[in-house]
Chain A
Amino acid sequence: MVDHAAKLSDHVWSRYDRKEQWTRYAVYLATLIAIVWAVRDIDIFWPWVWDAPNQIQSLGARMWPPRFDTWNAIFHAMLETVHIATLSTMLTIFIALPVSYIAAQNTTPNKATLWLGRFILVSSRSVNTIIWALLFVAIFGPGVLAGILAVMFRSVGFIGKLMGEAIEEIDRRPVEAMEATGASKMKVVLYAIVPQVMPAFFAIIILRWDINIRESTVLGLVGAGGIGVLLQGSIDLFAWQTVATILLAIVALVILGEAVTSALRKKVI
């Protein structure tokens, strides 16, 4: 009995073995080096940083009180912003769904289409909306069309990727059952896959619409329509009181969008 107890007390346990422990120390060190390196390399002009509180105060004073005399123009620009977000989200669906179908491993017809799908998704996602907007402003000229296309091109990657993942996560058994009835490929998709990805589809579309509203507010900075055009114009004219109103309006719109999307989410899911 005593022997047994002595044996038990000899058990040694630690969460990480020696090798894992050294790996952890190495990761800590690497992180530290990266931070130090970055801070030393980016060349901050420190006097400006120390001057920042004064600048904030002065800018605040120039913005106060917000001027509401142009509220009509701001309101219309806001509507335009929402329209850009809504239209581009809607149009994206028609492109993103086929792309997600060929980018999902379990539905793609062959290797070539799989890589084509993935290529479309990656290239769409790796370019920011603002950069797409710059490109389309150069092609189509400034305006709403360039904005819609820019938001669409970025959204295809987002919706396509998440829908592709939703398709890959489906339960395969209904697919098997539908194949066994002698249904064609498209009917199998319609009955065994579509119902399974429906909840994910609505969640993704609502989320992307929400993101697109926020993205549409900055499109105008490069001339692609929406509230950003007014914002840029007011900054250029040093009309800081109008800038304040526009910023408030954007905050209000984002909060409103948040409220609407969370209500929608509760409804459909």
Chain B
Amino acid sequence: MLEITNLVKRYGRNDPVLKGLNLSVDGSSVVSIVGASGAGKSTMLRCINRLVEPTSGSIKLNGHELVNLRGSELRHSRRRIGMVFQGFNLIDRLTVMENVLSGRLGYVSFFQALTRRFPQTDINRAFNLMERVGIAHYANKRADQLSGGERQRVAVVRALMQEPEILLADEPTASLDPKTSQQIMRLLQTLASEMSLPVLINIHNVTQARMYTDRIVGMRHGQMIFDGAPKDFNQDALDAIYGGIESPEEDSGEPQHQTAQEALA
């Protein structure tokens, strides 16, 4: 159960990117968050695992407050939040297996991480998950030798290695071709129900949001302006979210842009 209340994020002295956002997600529901570039989707997702520091508000995961955590407390909470990125964010020069096991970095000691001596249970879990998504035969290949869809599967497995209580996906299909992106969406959907894991997906593709998710949240200018089932997501809602904004699909560089801003702030 994730509860976001009155979340505000402001970069420097600019207008807030998130203006008092409220959202709660329970059980194993797959929620898609749609909105034009700059609506604050990516910022909201990154506030949850504190890659972005919220300005004010509260975020609770299973009753546990995430805002204001520091040091090891923050790292312990992050272990329970898996994240999948638009650019996959794999470590290219390491093998698939090393990438997958890096999901356990929050649990193992520095020495174990250095010598790549992960506990047997972790290795078993890694192989099970890799077999589940069909990449087990790549275990010893370098991550940069895989195709886009395969790389995103590695990233999903890495996130699941954390034994997360929630999975965040920031435009997980925006760098993939249409067919592969459908496969990844279907994978996220089935994994969510298999593991009864709530999944939050930022997505530009409204058709896929309708097809693969249980609930759609529409954002504009840092505020939530739609929250409902895919069947209720009609033309009016679409206009309200994207209206007056030219071709929202065009600019997919939003997350990078925002992290750059964060770095400057």
Instruction: Tell me if A's interface is mostly helix, strand, loop or mixed.
Output: helix
Q: Mark A164-200, 1 if CB is under 8 A from B, else 0.
A: 0000000011101111111110111011100110100
B10-18, B26-34, B81-89, B124-132: which lies at the interface: B81-89
Q: Tell me the minimal C-beta distance from B171 to chain A in angstroms.
A: 13
Chain A residues positioned under 8 Å from B87 (CB to CB): 173
* Chain B positions within 8 Å of A187 at CB level: 105, 110, 113
**Which residues in window 60-103 of B have CB below 8 A to A?**
72, 75-83, 85, 87, 89-94, 98, 102-103
Whether A180 contacts B110 by the Cβ 8 Å rule is no
Q: Determine if A184 and B75 form an interchain contact, defined as CB atoms under 8 angstroms apart.
A: yes
**Cβ of A176 and Cβ of B259 under 8 Å apart?**
yes
Q: Which residues from chain A contact B152 at a C-beta distance below 8 Å?
A: none
Min distance, Cβ B71 to any Cβ of chain A, angstroms:
9
Instruction: Verify B85–A182 contact, CB threshold 8 A.
Output: no
Contact B85 A173 (CB under 8 A): yes
Residues of A contacting B114 in the complex (Cβ-Cβ under 8 angstroms): 190
Cα–Cα, bound, A195→B83 (Å): 21
Query: In the complex, what distance in Å separates the CA atom of A190 from the CA atom of B93?
Result: 13
In the complex with contacts A177-B90, A191-B105, A191-B113, A182-B83 CB distance below 8 A: no
- B157 CB to closest chain A CB (Å) equals 12
**Is A182 in contact with B259, judged by CB distance below 8 angstroms?**
no
Q: How far is the CB of B237 from chain A (nearest CB, A)?
A: 31
Interface size on B, residues (CB 8 A): 33
Interface residue B213 (Cβ < 8 Å from any Cβ of A)? no
Across chains A and B, the number of contacting residue pairs, with CB separation under 8 Å, is 80
Q: If the complex has contacts A179-B51, A184-B110, A187-B105, are A195 and B85 also in contact, measured as CB distance less than 8 A?
A: no
Report the bound CA distance from A198 to B79 in whole Å: 27
Question: Which A144-168 residues sit within 8 Å CB-CB of chain B?
Answer: none
B106 interface contact, C-beta 8 A: yes
Kindly state the separation between the CA atoms of A198 and B93 in the bound complex, as whole angstroms.
9
A194 CB, min distance to chain B CBs, angstroms:
9
Q: Is the CB of B91 within 8 A of A181?
A: no
Give the distance in Å from the alpha carbon of A174 to the alpha carbon of B99 in the complex.
10
Bound-state Cα–Cα, A173 to B87, Å? 8
B79 with A174: CB separation less than 8 A: no
* A181 in contact with B78 (CB, 8 Å): yes
Contact of A182 among B75, B93, B113 (CB under 8 A): B75
Closest beta carbon of chain B to A183's beta carbon, Å: 4
Instruction: Please classify how large the interface on chain A is, using the bins under 10, 10 to 19, 20 to 34, 35 or more.
Output: 20 to 34
| CB pair B105 A177 closer than 8 Å | no
Residues of chain B within 8 A (CB-CB) of A180 are 49, 51, 78, 81-83
CA distance A186 to B92 in the complex (A): 19
B162 contacts chain A at the CB level, 8 A cutoff:
yes
**Which residues of chain A are near B41, meaning CB under 8 Å?**
none
Give Cα A177–Cα B78 distance, bound, in whole angstroms. 11
Report the bound CA distance from A187 to B49 in whole Å. Answer: 18
B89 near A183: Cβ-Cβ < 8 Å: no
A176 near B93 with CB under 8 A, answer no
Q: Which of A184, A191, A196, A198 contacts B102 (CB 8 A)?
A: A191
A182 touches B76 (CB 8 A): yes
The verdict on B9 contacting chain A, using a C-beta distance below 8 Å, is no
Task: Give CA–CA (A178, B82) in the complex, Å.
Answer: 11
B158 at the interface (CB under 8 A from A): yes
Which partner residue on chain A sits nearest B101 by CB separation?
A: A191
Q: Cβ of A183: which chain B residues have Cβ within 8 Å of it?
A: 75, 102, 105-106, 113
Expressed in whole angstroms, the Cα–Cα distance for A91 and B102 within the complex equals 31
Cross-chain contact of B94 among A173, A179, A186, A195 (Cβ < 8 A):
A195
Q: Given the complex of chains A and B, what is the CA–CA distance between A174 and B85 in angstroms?
A: 10
Q: Which of A172, A179, A184, A195 contacts B91 (CB 8 A)?
A: A195
A-side contacts of B104, CB under 8 Å: 181
Residues on A with beta carbons closer than 8 Å to the beta carbon of B75 = 182-184
Cβ proximity bits B149-161 to A, threshold 8 Å, 1 near / 0 not: 0000001001000
Chain A residues, Cβ within 8 Å of B81:
180
A188 to chain B, nearest CB (A): 8
Q: How far is the CA of A174 from the CA of B158 in the complex (A)?
A: 12
The smallest C-beta distance from A179 to any residue of chain B, in angstroms, reads: 6
The answer to whether residues A186 and B51 also contact, given A177-B85, A181-B79, A191-B105 and a CB cut-off of 8 A, is: no
Residues of B within 8 A of A (CB): 49, 51, 72, 75-83, 85, 87, 89-94, 98, 102-106, 110, 113-114, 155, 158, 162, 259
Residues of chain A at the chain B interface (Cβ within 8 Å): 172-174, 176-184, 186-188, 190-192, 195-196, 198
**Contacts A174-B89, A179-B78, A187-B113 given; 15 further ones with Cβ under 8 A?**
A174-B90, A174-B92, A176-B51, A176-B259, A177-B155, A180-B49, A181-B104, A182-B76, A182-B79, A183-B106, A187-B105, A190-B110, A191-B91, A191-B105, A191-B113
